[in-house]
Amino acid sequence: MKTDLPQSFRRLEYIPPVYTFDRVELDIALDPARTIIKSRIEVMPGKGFKSGAPLVLVGQELEFVSLRINGEAHRQFELTPETLTILALPNEGKEKFIVEIICVCIPEKNTSLMGLYVSNGNFFTQCEAEGFRKITYFLDRPDVMAKYQVTLRAREVECPVLLSNGNLLRTEKLPNGWHSATWEDPFPKPSYLFALVAGKLECIEETITSISGAKKLLQIWVEPHDLPKTQHAMDSLIASIYWDEKRFGLELDLERFMIVAVSDFNMGAMENKGLNIFNTKFVLAQPETATDADFANIESVVAHEYFHNWTGNRVTCQDWFQLSLKEGLTVFRDQEFSADQMGSESGRAVKRIEDVRLLRQLQFPEDAGPMAHPIRPNEYQEINNFYTVTVYEKGSEVVRMYQTLLGRDGFRKGMDLYFKRHDGQAVTCDDFLAAMADANGKDLSQFQNWYSQAGTPRVKVEERYDAEKKQFHLTLTQSCAPSPGQAEKNAFHIPLKMRLLTPTNDQPEILLELTQRTQSWTFDGISQRPVLSINRDFSAPIQLDFQQSEADLLTLFSGDDDPFNRWEAGQKLAMQMILNHRLPDEQLIGAYRNLLLDPDLDPAFKELALTLPAETYLYEQCSSVDPQAIFTARRAFRRELAKQLQLEWAALYQQMQTPGPFKPDAVSAGKRALKNLSLSMLLEADVAIWAPMALNQYRVADNMTDRYAALSALVIHGAKLANECLTDFFSRFVNDALVIDKWFALQSGRPPVDGQETTLNNVKRLREHAAFKMNNPNRVRSVIHAFCSNNPASFHQPDGSGYEFWADSVLALDPINPQVAARLARALDRWRLFAQPYQNQMKAALERVLASQTLSPDVREVVGKALEN
Ligand code: TRP
Ligand code: ZN
């Protein structure tokens, strides 16, 4: 029988494990149709032990074969589809005993890509968060940490390579063409960090010496034809290892560290101990096939997974509500790493702007919608739905605020204490906060609210200058809108960097700590009216409510010494004008022109400053969204910018060329970014005149950044030659899945073009394309998500056709891969924000999905919460 109320898990209902595991031995005979898993587990009483309590293991989609305890067949057990409950334990469970289980799973039938599955004929696992239970019956929870020894067996011709966590103990030849490899991981770990990989793979390898003088073997494993695309990932790994030694004193703790690339993968990558498994998208790169953005993403994802080795693996999470403990912290670490890799102060600012832009485009809407949750959620139905931009990106902002409040050295002291106290443990966000507070003797009790309250705080700014007394008065008032389950919010502890910009430049940057609802400050000796620069470097993840005059914003845009706030002022000016359906006026055009011509500014910064706020960010500023009106207003603004500065764009296009062999460094990438923005703006201004130049760039490009940018400009601006180039692009790269993903995504992401077929019709055709595969997440994302989530003006049609397509796609995907379907389901989260007829059409589509009798818990939670009152 099916119950109607979905099951919820609650943070405050945490119960320590009744039993725990010491040592785990796995023996896995790999066969795509029938893999046999034998486990031998040393069980001991856990923190929550009660004598006589049964041992309740979880398992999913497993065929149970046999159970032994202390070497004897054991018959007192109960089996349900999700549990194996072992009764009548020896000596009531008070002393260590040995459980041996044999079970079977079917990797080739596993399309969910959780647990053990097959991709291109090779075996892979994904166990976070709860995938290990699809491999064997287990205490599949992160607070049970054990030492693993793993023997893998397979037919040698089919699986010459057998990998698992830790160090290789031995390999053996077996009868009938089988062979085996035995791996031992010396560090206790939770089951979600288990991994195995087996199949026809090859690697590049390098040996480095770590800070203590130990030798480390580093390997990147891929399908043989991809070997030439692995060097950038290897360089990124080596840079990450050295960075973590230098910045945090953290050394690689294993003799060997492996990265494996797989083309069927639900997310970006996974930090399995010593055996990171990556989506190919975040490993493979060559200048001819990967863009500058791809190169940068690979660097940061490789770093992210490597940094988890300490923040996540050595110190792990007590339960999944603590996910941000490892994810927020590790995102913060990878952001800092990437910023340092930029090699200059202005490069750091570019990275900061990119990170904040992502936060605002994706996390702010999440925090205002039906799935809003604190970075440490209090409740979930399906944990896979909580790998969110809130847990990751806002989580990182919260970690960054510690550093802002405590300084870099203070933050480091807190990290040192955290590891000193908790190495080898499964802990909570409270433990992290306590380490930061104790190491610095600072009271951070109010800072706790960042973990317990959802929603983006708003800070209202009121300023008054008193010329007679030469005083500047500042009043800040904080508030936070209600979010699901939280009507009232307590005041946050908000660090705000600020500076008064004066003609004499005599005021320092200071840090305000806003802890009350309303607080006022008075600044003395200010001889002329200053311009306020506040929340510099985006020191807190808030929305500022500040009616700053256009004149002041122009001052900031032209000369704030904080590059983030300089960029921010330009965004605010553009946003206000677009929302008021205004075109850029002469003054703003002049400011843009000066910025473009300023020889002291980074090309990468200029590109960011001239890129308009995203439509989805503009939506969040409205009380009732008309997506077509916003698209039109934004596009008109862009066209005006393109036309008014046509001479400058043309000049920049020439000046930003990077002759000579391709180099992926930040400076060259910045030049390419500005050059390609210039190209796009030229086509925006006059597609007939400038399309031939784009066509030429498309043809002669020696790298994917330039080739793709040219193709994209042709497609987006509806150039006549666009289709020919698309055909050419497909045949050139037909054997490179990641490039074909770009080919799909470009077409699905194309905004509406006057007089041309709708993108939706084209997307429907692409879904029938021979190269479209519903069970490959990258391909699905490049067609379906690219349309439903990244192409708002094409998706939001008044006739609701986009939503129909969305509902059909969610229902088709769900039985194949619930995780990927649930991500897609999020595309309608903000339906209540929209004007009619959009709102009703979206509601109807959501209701149609929810009415399905066979929904996964994943999709049910997302759609159910969207429709809740
Ligand atoms: N922990 C991984 C990371 O952030 C991401 C991850 C969680 C994941 N669950 C997953 C990846 C499921 C793939 C599939 O780095
Ligand atoms: Zn992570």
Instruction: Specify whether the CB–CB gap between 67 and 74 falls below 8 A.
Output: yes
Longest Cα separation, the chain: 95
Q: Specify the ligand 1 atom closest to the Cα of 128.
A: 9
Counting Cβ atoms within 10 Å, is residue 477 exposed (0-12), middle (13-18) or buried (19+)? middle
- Residue 270 CA, ligand 1 centroid: distance in Å: 5
For ligand 2, the distance from its centroid to the CA atom of residue 272, given in whole angstroms, is 11
Report whether pLDDT(658) > 50: yes
Between the CA of 429 and the centroid of ligand 2 the distance, in Å, is 15
Pick from 484, 479, 466: which is nearest to 518 by CA?
Answer: 479
Whole-angstrom distance, CA of residue 678 vs CA of residue 706: 12
838: Cβ contacts below 8 Å, ≥ 6 apart: 625, 626, 627, 796, 798, 800, 831
- Tens of pLDDT along 453-507? 999 999 999 999 999 999 999 999 999 999 999 999 999 999 999 999 999 999 9
Nearest CA to ligand 1 atom 3: 270
Instruction: Please give the average per-residue pLDDT across 428-433, as a whole number.
Output: 99
- Between 87 and 1, where is the model more confident? 87
Please name the residue whose Cα sits nearest to atom 12 of ligand 1.
128
Q: Which atom of ligand 1 is nearest to the CA of 305?
A: 15
Whole-number Å distance between alpha carbons of 23 and 278: 27
Q: Determine the pLDDT at residue 270.
A: 99
- The ligand 1 atom at the shortest distance from the C-alpha of residue 384 is 9
Report the separation in Å between the CA atom of 753 and the middle of ligand 2, taken as the mean of its atom positions.
38
Measured between alpha carbons, how far is residue 259 from residues 278, 539, 729 in Å? 7, 34, 30
Exposed e or buried b per residue across 837-866, where buried means at least 16 C-beta atoms within 10 angstroms of its C-beta:
ebeebbbebbebbbeeeebbbbbbbbbbbb
Ligand lying closest to the C-alpha of residue 262: 1
Kindly report the pTM of this predicted structure: 0.98
Q: How far is CA 424 from CA 44, 254, 349, 420, in A?
A: 17, 15, 36, 10
Mean pLDDT of the chain: 98
Q: How far apart are CA 726 and CA 743, in angstroms?
A: 7
* pLDDT score, position 458: 98
Residue of 113, 387, 396 to test ligand 1 pocket, by largest number of atoms within 8 Å of CB: 387
Pairing of strands 83-86, 256-262: unpaired
- Closest ligand to C-alpha of residue 396 is 2
Instruction: Return the best residue to mutate from 270, 272, 325, 331 for the ligand 1 pocket (most ligand atoms within 8 A of CB).
Output: 270
Residue of minimum CA distance from atom 2 in ligand 1:
270
pLDDT of residue 2: 45
Q: Torsions phi, psi of 83, nearest 5? A: -140, 155
Using the atom order of ligand 1, give the atom closest to the CA of residue 131.
12
Report the catalytic residues: 305
The share of the chain scoring above pLDDT 70, in percent, equals: 100
Residue 477: the pLDDT is: 99
How far lies 515's CA from each of 251, 483, 511, 711, in Å? 37, 21, 13, 50
pLDDT (0 to 100) of residue 344: 87
Nearest CA to ligand 1 atom 7: 128
**How far apart are the C-alpha atoms of 312 and 324, rounded to whole Å?**
10
Minimal-distance CA residue to ligand 1 atom 15:
270
User: How far apart are alpha carbons 373 and 8 in whole angstroms?
Assistant: 14
Say how far apart CA 738 and CA 200 lie, in whole Å: 20
| Interval between CA 590 and ligand 1 midpoint (Å) | 46
Which residues lie near ion ligand 2 (Cβ < 5 Å)? 327, 330
Q: Atom of ligand 1 at shortest distance to CA of 271?
A: 15
Cα 661 to ligand 2 centre (Å): 34
Mean pLDDT of 618-640: 98
Q: Which residues line ligand 1 (CB under 6 A)?
A: 126, 128-129, 266-267, 269-271, 304-305, 327, 387
Expressed in angstroms and rounded, the spacing between residue 309 Cα and the centre of ligand 1 is 14
Asked if the model's pLDDT at residue 3 lies above 70, the reply is no
Asked whether the predicted pLDDT for residue 869 surpasses 90, the reply is: no
Residues 661-682: what's their mean pLDDT?
96
CB 743 within 8 A of CB 733: yes
**Measured from the CA of 312, which atom of ligand 1 is nearest?**
1
The average pLDDT across 406-415 equals 98
**Helix 646-655 and helix 666-685: axis angle, to 10°?**
150
What pLDDT sits at residue 345? 87
Torsion angles phi and psi, residue 220, rounded to 5: -120, 115
Dist. CA 823 → ligand 2 center (Å): 17
pLDDT band at 5 (very low <50, low <70, confident <90, very high): confident
Q: Ligand 1 atom closest to Cα of 392? A: 4
Residue nearest to ligand 1 atom 5, measured at CA:
270
Report the C-alpha gap between 464 and 530 in whole angstroms: 10
Distance CA 550, CA 563 (A): 18
How far does the centroid of ligand 1 lie from the alpha carbon of residue 19, in Å?
A: 26
Rounded average pLDDT over 721-748: 98
Which residues are bridge partners to 513 per DSSP?
495
Q: Which ligand is nearest to the CA of 265?
A: 1
Spatial separation of the C-alpha atoms in residues 471 and 468, rounded to whole Å: 8
Tell whether the model's pLDDT for residue 160 goes beyond 90.
Answer: yes
pLDDT score for 6: 87
C-alpha 359: how far from chain center = 10
Q: What is the pLDDT of residue 1?
A: 43
Q: Which ligand is nearest to the CA of 278?
A: 1
Q: Is 393 helix (H, G, I), strand (E, B) or coil?
A: helix
Neighbours of 715 (CB within 10 A): 22
Q: Contact, 152 vs 28, CB < 8 A?
A: yes
CA distance readout (Å), 272 to 259, 277, 445: 10, 7, 33
Task: Tell which one of 260, 265, 267 to mutate to probe ligand 1, the residue whose CB is within 8 A of the most ligand atoms.
Answer: 267
Best residue for ligand 1 mutational test, from 114, 128, 300 (most atoms within 8 Å of Cβ): 128
Instruction: Give the number of whichever ligand sits closest to the CA of residue 271.
Output: 1
Residue keyed to tokens 């770093």: 303
Contact 375, 390 (CB under 8 A): yes
Q: What pLDDT, on a 0 to 100 scale, did the predictor assign at position 346? A: 87
Q: What is the mean pLDDT of residues 501-521?
A: 97
Question: Which pLDDT does position 4 carry in this prediction?
Answer: 64
Q: Cα–Cα distance between 621 and 556 in angstroms, integer?
A: 21
Average pLDDT over residues 844-851: 98
